[in-house]
Structure 1
């Protein structure tokens, strides 16, 4: 092939990859919960696509999905010990506003990068996660799922079925902030920021659902609640206790934004490090709070 022909072929390959990038990003992020690992997987998938015999590929979308899935499974296997030894509550690396890929309107669930969904997937085994995502989210036939995972069709049906059950149990059934108005979301986020930093326990109870849950991820590096806090009063007492202990709770700055499609804000804390706080809203109250403090997951917010 001439130099010009090679350049045209590579340009066509790159264009094909870009057509599928949104879906591939969603697949890898749901598998891994890490932006850095997701970007590494997409880069390796692109290199493999560049080097593949593309003329022999019948379905480029399926080929790329298989590649990304296998690469993601390799990452999960290598990170298994690290995940199991994680200190405190694990939350996915937050996707803040401008870094969120535009939704793929043809697959509603595939564009759902909510924290609740990623947490539900995190409770699955890697193979259950892969089978469920490929079949239920990306509409891949079980025959192709089996080829991707190196399992029988029946085994993949069972894996996806178990994944489906767990996700249905874990994902919130109520109307969430994805359907709440931006104004409602920002108003509740603003009220939470003000009340939590002032230790206003009554104010917090007023805006939290009675069974609200707060999850905070400090990664064992920064102080954070080690286990989820369940119940409006328990969450309010936690922030009241922080005030009584004279902990430095007032942030240097706060920017309201969208985090994984949820209303929230990014703060620069008294120690100079960033923190993200995202909210799920149900029936006009905060149903869940997700706080990420682990610096390893927030480096891009500081330009690291």
Structure 2
């Protein structure tokens, strides 16, 4: 259930609340009368998430700067596996692309693409006909594909491109880093008014590198910085710490030419604190 709710909401705490509400409804139901418990749970969790998402969208309209979904970091080897293991497979680029969908489009897309629900189940969940749900899923796919970042890149593709990009920056070869970007590359930072971050998406390699270069040289002069590569939402990401406190999470999505299409930078300390639990 967490995986479904997290994909719907893009937030860990919200997803956990939705899961709890779903199980409370299950506990209050006559379970013996439920012929298909998995479908029942998906329907309830989806509708709870739809209601929460409507409220969340209103809040995001007044959010300071771009809003980005919260990342999920894969536990280190030997660490206990959390209940959100399956949700880690949902890429941040896909979560961000799904922000273009309304509540029912998002639910239909997730139920069909992530959980292979048939159209009759989706229809029962959303209160629509099966035919309308087919159209809803088709429209949602087109919107997601048109959103920008590529969502079908392999882990190895992301790892190779990330290594080249971050190594170029750390060696201060900003020309090499720029060569991995294009005029269409987009960098999005989420600081949530809690820390310094770009208040708008940066478009084009020159603008992106200008900011990255300035930030790198600034932090280079400060003490206590360390970096780590971890798996975040199923893909490699670059985590930066200052005196052991997580400061940012950065990951990329490539285009079909092997260049960087999209850079995700999470700096909101509230989201990073939730992620670190």
Bucket of the pairwise TM-score, normalised by the shorter protein: 0.7 to 0.9
What's the counterpart of residue 221 of structure 1? 194
Structure 1 residue 248, shift from structure 2 partner: 7.1
Q: What secondary structure does 2:184 align onto?
A: strand
Greater RCO between the two (CA within 8 Å, min separation 6)?
Answer: 2
What's the counterpart of residue 163 of structure 2? 187
Q: 8 Å contact 2:184–2:261 — kept in the other structure? A: yes
Q: 8 Å contact 2:111–2:117 — kept in the other structure? A: yes
CA distance in structure 2 between the aligned counterparts of 1:101 and 1:193, rounded to whole angstroms: 33
CA distance in structure 2 between the aligned counterparts of 1:111 and 1:96, rounded to whole angstroms: 7
Question: Is 1:129 the counterpart of 2:103 in the alignment?
Answer: no
Question: Is 1:299 the counterpart of 2:273 in the alignment?
Answer: yes
CA distance in structure 1 between the aligned counterparts of 2:151 and 2:26, rounded to whole angstroms: 41
Question: Is 1:71 the counterpart of 2:44 in the alignment?
Answer: no
What's the counterpart of residue 23 of structure 2? 46
Q: 8 Å contact 1:131–1:159 — kept in the other structure? A: yes
CA RMSD of aligned residues (A): 3.0
CA distance in structure 2 between the aligned counterparts of 1:226 and 1:293, rounded to whole angstroms: 12
CA distance in structure 2 between the aligned counterparts of 1:206 and 1:159, rounded to whole angstroms: 39
Q: Alpha-carbon deviations, 1:52-104, whole Å to 9, x = none? A: 2222222121111111101101211232321111121111001112269445x
Q: 8 Å contact 1:189–1:265 — kept in the other structure? A: no
Judged with a 3 Å threshold, the aligned counterparts in structure 2 of structure 1 residues 214 and 82 are, in CA distance, closer, same or farther, namely same
Aligned equivalent of 1:82, options 9, 34, 59: 59
Structure 1 residue 218, shift from structure 2 partner: 0.7
CA distance in structure 2 between the aligned counterparts of 1:100 and 1:275, rounded to whole angstroms: 24
Q: 8 Å contact 2:64–2:192 — kept in the other structure? A: yes
Structure 1 residue 284, shift from structure 2 partner: 4.8
CA distance in structure 1 between the aligned counterparts of 2:36 and 2:275, rounded to whole angstroms: 37
Judged with a 3 Å threshold, the aligned counterparts in structure 2 of structure 1 residues 45 and 100 are, in CA distance, closer, same or farther, namely closer
Which blocks of at least 5 consecutive residues in structure 1 are unaligned? 1-23, 104-109
Q: What secondary structure does 2:157 align onto?
A: coil
Using structure 2 for the length normalisation, give the TM-score. 0.83
Q: What secondary structure does 1:258 align onto?
A: strand
Write out aligned runs for 1:1-304 (5 A). Answer: 24-98=1-75, 101-103=84-86, 112-170=89-147, 172-173=149-150, 176-180=153-157, 182=159, 184=160, 187-188=163-164, 190-191=166-167, 194=170, 198=172, 200-209=173-182, 211-242=184-215, 246=218, 252-269=225-242, 274-282=247-255, 284-303=258-277
Structure 1 residue 212, shift from structure 2 partner: 2.6
Judged with a 3 Å threshold, the aligned counterparts in structure 2 of structure 1 residues 39 and 208 are, in CA distance, closer, same or farther, namely same
Judged with a 3 Å threshold, the aligned counterparts in structure 2 of structure 1 residues 26 and 301 are, in CA distance, closer, same or farther, namely closer
Q: Alpha-carbon deviations, 1:23-56, whole Å to 9, x = none? A: x332211110001111111222223223322222
Using structure 1 for the length normalisation, give the TM-score. 0.76
Q: How many residues align?
A: 269
Larger radius of gyration: 1
CA distance in structure 2 between the aligned counterparts of 1:262 and 1:147, rounded to whole angstroms: 34
